[in-house]
Amino acid sequence: MTIMAPSQPPVPGQVGQAIAESCTESDACPTFARLNARLANLEMQVSTDYLTGLWNRAHFNQVVDSELDRSLRYKQPVSLILFDIDHFKRANDQFGHQAGDAVLRELALVANAATRSSDAVFRWGGEEFAVLATSTGYRGAGRLAEALRGQVACHVFPDVGTVTVSLGVAEHSASESAEAWFRRADGMLYAAKREGRNCVRVDANGNSDTWAAAQGPAALCLSWQEAYECGEPSIDREHLELFNLANALIDVSVMSNSDSGKVLSVFDKLLDHIACHFVNEEALLELRGYAHADAHRRAHANLLRRARALRDGLEAGSASLGGIVEFLAGEVVARHLFKADRDFFPLFRAGAGNAETVPVA
């Protein structure tokens, strides 16, 4: 088959289209499959940094506008963390550029391990890196940056030993351009450098505060959706009740005439429900032979410990409504129910088994 006249230069995509049309089942055509694989490999090569394997600056430029559009459309904050290695030139001069390259590769591994699966880590250039933290305001991004700083500081790098990083954080604000947003994060990075290095500096401005002020306290609630159901009635009832009790706590917390005793009483009721729910859920997972039951139990214990510490902080006056809402929405719901719990949902789908259900206490 002649795909095109020999005198014509190849037109991008035309060869692949012609090959695909020559296959009755293009997905099964070996030539087409090889072409797709090669194209995917080339796209990966131009999007990643050859030394560290992280996304590169060109890929950041490709995705940032869509991330900002999504943030504004759905009113979900997005933050940028910029960081670089302190005194990296000294390490290169003392240990050589090969050792310096090894530090960069190792730092990429540490950064990926210290950030969340929803975050994207980029090598910006030289010894400078960036983290795009979606659905995260400047407060959460500041904590993420501090965790990353600590992980780097205690890590032992081959040949070099220990290194530190300085980090700057900025949440996207209003409808500023990507360039203006980057300049604010970069300004925070330079502030961290000026103030002694091995630290985090945060620009305490962003859309999350603006949206919260515009919506008011009535907007603070967790909304249950049918898609959150796992298929096991007792777990689904307890998850729904968890949402109801969390919203009751938020409501009583924002009432101007409520006293701390009433807030603590509602918080205690929520804690009792969480503890009971965790026990029931763990029993069901054991009964179904869930492979990650032990890890899930540890995650439950950690969440309950943090919830009780938050309750004690509220009683002592050191915890705020914002901290309560962030814990309930971000940790209990978004990260645990939406991620960890979803791993066991297939156990309770139709046909997953007929094990006897543990009664709800």
229 and 155: one domain?
no
What six digits make up the tokens of 35? 């072409």
d(CA 274, CA 143): 25
The CATH number linked to 288 is: 1.20.120.50
30 and 92: one domain?
no
pLDDT in tens, 251-272: 887 775 556 788 889 889 999 9
In terms of DSSP H, where are the helices of 196-343?
207-215, 233-254, 260-287, 293-316, 321-326
DSSP code per residue over 330-348 = IIIIIIIIIIIGGGGGGGG
226 as an active site residue: the answer is no
Quote the domain boundaries for residue 275.
Answer: 216-348
pLDDT in tens, 180-198: 999 999 999 999 999 999 9
87 and 179: one domain?
yes
d(CA 337, CA 183): 36
- What DSSP state is assigned to residue 126? T
Q: What is the pLDDT at residue 190?
A: 97
290 and 306: one domain?
yes
Placement of tokens 């032979």 in the chain: 289
The answer to whether 55 and 48 have CB atoms below 8 angstroms apart is yes
206 and 222: one domain?
no
Which run of H or E residues covers position 55?
strand 55-56
Q: What share of the chain is helix, strand, coil (3-state, %, to 5)?
A: 60, 10, 30
Q: State yes or no: pLDDT of 3 exceeds 70.
A: no
Active-site entry in 67, 127, 232, 238: 127
In a domain, 81, yes or no: yes
In a domain, 268, yes or no: yes
Q: Per the structure, how many domains does the chain have?
A: 3
What six digits make up the tokens of 105? 């590769």
pLDDT in tens, 140-182: 899 999 999 999 999 999 889 999 999 999 999 988 999 999 9
Q: What is the pLDDT at residue 10?
A: 40
Of 181, 213, 245, which one is at a domain's C-terminal end? 213
146 and 205: one domain?
yes
